[in-house]
């Protein structure tokens, strides 16, 4: 597709969307704007954008597609600003925020003037940030939710999908309300639970410092998402407040239930609590991308002798497999058998690594 694209916000997500568009649409010209001038310079140097914009206004007037890749609160401010600019006829404006209802409501300042706004949320991410971490394949096979208004022309939705097809994402069209409920259940609320578990461990650690040492194993893995940006999650909670308050009420009922069966020594009730959870969890797709960015970890049950880590990394180097992190488990409970945990950028790399270990060794491997 030919045309001008303006990416506002050149972090991981904005940069990755830009790379995906450039890869698919060679004739498109991409402008980039960021409040941090260093990000603009780096994005241009890395080929993420073709030209940096000094102001939003100067690039917006020539844009056929405008992508807002900034925090939700900032997205609403920028939309108000864009509504006062004489934009190109037929321009499409979209965002990448993780909450949608308030964003779509705020977009009325655009749609009332005949400007097409289609909410968007690519459900992928990384533990890294900034334009230096951007990659075109970030959204491959991930869900990309679009939340157009009821009266949005089908042609415009298809046009936006065409622009974004280089992401190789799976597009789903849902209502803003449905989006916020779905992401609240499988993304926003789990972050609250993870932060709560860490907070509880912190409190107990004040009484016994062994807590933090033992938490280095499975506990650290299941609470990994608690390391996400506090600023971002503060804003998400405020934007999706009604949904999350309702989910908290449901969660308290669930905890009251398991508390009551435990108090009553109800062996069958306790068994069913864990059995139901196990059955549903085991049915979840292993290799598909979901709302929470996946961590592509491979657990390897290796013997404890000097040089074992260099042996394993040597096999990966020989096969050209890149790793992002490696660590030794001090506790091996909760059905996590591997003493060595190796992290990869993609599931494809993890699968290749698993095949590599099976080829060169007889060590057992495990994917949590």
Structure confidence at residue 260 (pLDDT): 97
Q: Which residue has the higher pLDDT, 101 or 228?
A: 101
DSSP codes, 227-276: GS-HHHHHHHHHHTHHHHHHHHHHHHHHHHHHHHHHHTT-HHHHHHHHHH
Q: Between 222 and 7, where is the model more confident?
A: 7
Sequence-separated (6 or more) residues with CB below 8 Å from residue 126: 12, 133, 138, 293
Q: Has residue 120 got a pLDDT over 90?
A: yes
Domain boundaries, the chain: 3-174, 188-283, 296-366
pLDDT tens-digit profile of 71-100? Answer: 888 998 999 999 999 999 999 999 999 999
What CATH number labels 188-283? 1.10.3660.10
Model confidence at 287: pLDDT above 80: no
pLDDT band at 332 (very low <50, low <70, confident <90, very high): very low
Tens digits of residue pLDDT in 256-277 = 999 999 999 999 999 999 999 9
The total of other beta-carbon atoms located within 10 Å of residue 252's CB is 10
Task: Give yes or no for residue 149 having a pLDDT over 60.
Answer: yes
Q: Give the tens place of pLDDT for each residue, 186-240.
A: 899 999 999 999 999 999 998 998 888 887 667 877 888 888 888 888 989 999 9
Which segment of 72-86, 241-255, 284-298 scores lowest on mean pLDDT? Answer: 284-298
Q: What is the pLDDT of residues 22-69, one digit of tens each?
A: 999 999 999 999 999 999 999 999 999 999 998 999 999 999 999 999
Phi and psi, residue 333, nearest 5°: -120, -175
At residue 295, does pLDDT exceed 90?
no
CATH superfamily of 3-174: NAD(P)-binding Rossmann-like Domain (3.40.50.720)
More confident residue, 157 or 325: 157
pLDDT greater than 70 at residue 128: no
Q: Is the dihedral of CA 154, 293, 34, 3 positive or negative?
A: negative
Q: What is the residue whose two structure tokens read 């280095």?
A: 216
Confidence of residue 119 (pLDDT cuts 50, 70, 90): very high
Spatial contact of 123 and 144, defined as CB atoms under 8 Å apart: yes
Topology of domain 296-366, CATH = Alpha-Beta Plaits (3.30.70)
Share of the chain above pLDDT 90, in %: 62
Cα–Cα nearest to 34, from 55, 19, 13: 55
| C-alpha closest to that of 298 among 246, 365, 356, 250 | 365
How many C-alpha atoms does 69 have within 13 Å on its Cβ side?
Answer: 26
* Terminal Cα distance for the chain, rounded: 41
Element at 52 (helix H, strand E) = strand 51-52
Which stretch of 18-27, 94-103, 239-248, 358-367 has the lowest confidence by average pLDDT? Answer: 358-367
pTM, two decimals, is: 0.77
Residue 276, token pair as written in the block: 């139901």
Q: Does the structure show a pLDDT above 70 at 289?
A: no
Query: Per-residue pLDDT for 154 more than 90?
Result: yes
- Per-residue pLDDT, averaged over 323-342, amounts to 65
Under 8 Å CB-to-CB from 205, ≥6 apart: which residues?
A: 211, 212
């Amino acid at each position: 597709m030919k045309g001008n694209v303006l990416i506002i916000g050149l972090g991981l997500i904005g940069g990755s969307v830009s790379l995906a568009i450039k890869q698919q649409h060679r004739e498109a010209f991409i402008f980039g704007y960021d409040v941090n001038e260093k990000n603009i310079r780096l994005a241009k140097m890395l080929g993420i954008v073709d030209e940096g914009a000094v102001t939003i206004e100067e690039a917006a007037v020539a844009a056929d597609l405008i992508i807002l890749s900034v925090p939700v609160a900032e997205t609403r401010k920028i939309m108000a600003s864009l509504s006062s600019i004489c934009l190109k006829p037929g321009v499409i404006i979209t965002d990448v925020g993780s909450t949608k209802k308030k964003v779509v409501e705020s977009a009325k300042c655009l749609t009332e003037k005949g400007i097409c706004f289609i909410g968007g949320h690519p459900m992928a991410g990384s533990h890294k940030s900034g334009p230096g971490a951007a990659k075109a394949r970030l959204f491959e096979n991930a869900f990309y939710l679009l939340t157009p208004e009821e009266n949005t022309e089908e042609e415009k939705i298809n046009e936006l999908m065409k622009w974004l097809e280089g992401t190789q994402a799976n597009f789903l069209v849902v209502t803003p309300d449905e989006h916020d409920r779905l992401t609240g259940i499988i993304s926003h609320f789990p972050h609250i639970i993870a932060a709560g578990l860490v907070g509880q461990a912190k409190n107990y650690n004040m009484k016994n410092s062994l807590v933090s040492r033992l938490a280095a194993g499975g506990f650290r893995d299941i609470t990994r998402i608690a390391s996400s940006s506090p600023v971002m999650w503060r804003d998400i909670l405020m934007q999706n407040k009604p949904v999350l308050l309702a989910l908290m009420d449901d969660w308290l009922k669930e905890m009251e239930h398991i508390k009551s069966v435990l108090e009553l020594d109800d062996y069958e009730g306790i068994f069913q609590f864990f059995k139901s959870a196990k059955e549903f969890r085991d049915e979840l797709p292993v290799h598909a991308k979901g709302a929470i960015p996946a961590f592509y970890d491979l657990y390897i049950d290796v013997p404890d002798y000097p040089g074992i880590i260099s042996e394993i990394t040597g096999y990966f180097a020989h096969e050209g497999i890149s790793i992002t992190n490696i660590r030794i488990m001090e506790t091996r409970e909760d059905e996590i058998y591997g003493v060595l945990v190796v992290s990869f950028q993609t599931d494809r790399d993890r699968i290749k690594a698993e095949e590599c270990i099976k080829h060169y060794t007889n060590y057992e491997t495990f994917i949590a």
